[in-house]
Amino acid sequence: MKKIEAIIRRSKFEEVKEALHAADIQWFSYWDITGAGKEREDMVVRGQVFESSYIQRRMLSIVVRDQNLDKTIKAIMDSAWTGELGDGKIFVSTVDETYRIRNGQKGPDALY
């Protein structure tokens, strides 16, 4: 099983969500994050245009069976893309074990 952590633009969220549901991904979690680093993003506050170092993004976290990894990544890449700097990143790591709390079931079948 693999965990996919995708950092995407907030404005792309709805499209990515629909693409994932269309690819039959049953569940993913998401939350808002702020990123900080060298990247800058244009921002306007009270008429002043400037480059903010606080980058607002949305984090998606999806755990999938190994066989679904490629289609999930493709779905995210295609729908979250704009071609501009700041489109985001996807991290893939291995999940050693999964448990379903309701009945203690383990393994890939404990996923959705």
Residue ranges that bind other proteins, judged by CB under 8 A: 1, 3, 10-11, 13-15, 17, 21, 25-34, 44, 54, 56, 61, 63, 93-102, 104, 110-112
Measured from the CB atom, the residue of 26 and 66 that comes closer to other proteins is 26
| Shortest Cβ 81–other proteins spacing (Å) | 15
- In whole angstroms, the minimum distance from the beta carbon of 70 to other proteins comes to 19
Long-range contacts of 79-85 (CB under 8 A, 24+ apart): 79/12, 79/15, 79/16, 79/18, 79/19, 80/6, 80/8, 80/9, 80/12, 80/15, 80/16, 82/9, 82/12, 85/39
CB-nearer residue toward other proteins: 5 or 77: 5
Starting at the edge strand that comes first in sequence, how are the strands of the sheet with 48-64 ordered? 48-64, 2-8, 88-94
Looking at the Cβ atoms of 74 and 100, the one nearer to other proteins is 100
DSSP state of 82: -
Smallest separation (angstroms) from other proteins to the CB of 61: 8
For other proteins, give the closer residue by CB, 77 or 111. Answer: 111
Read off the DSSP letter of residue 94. Answer: E
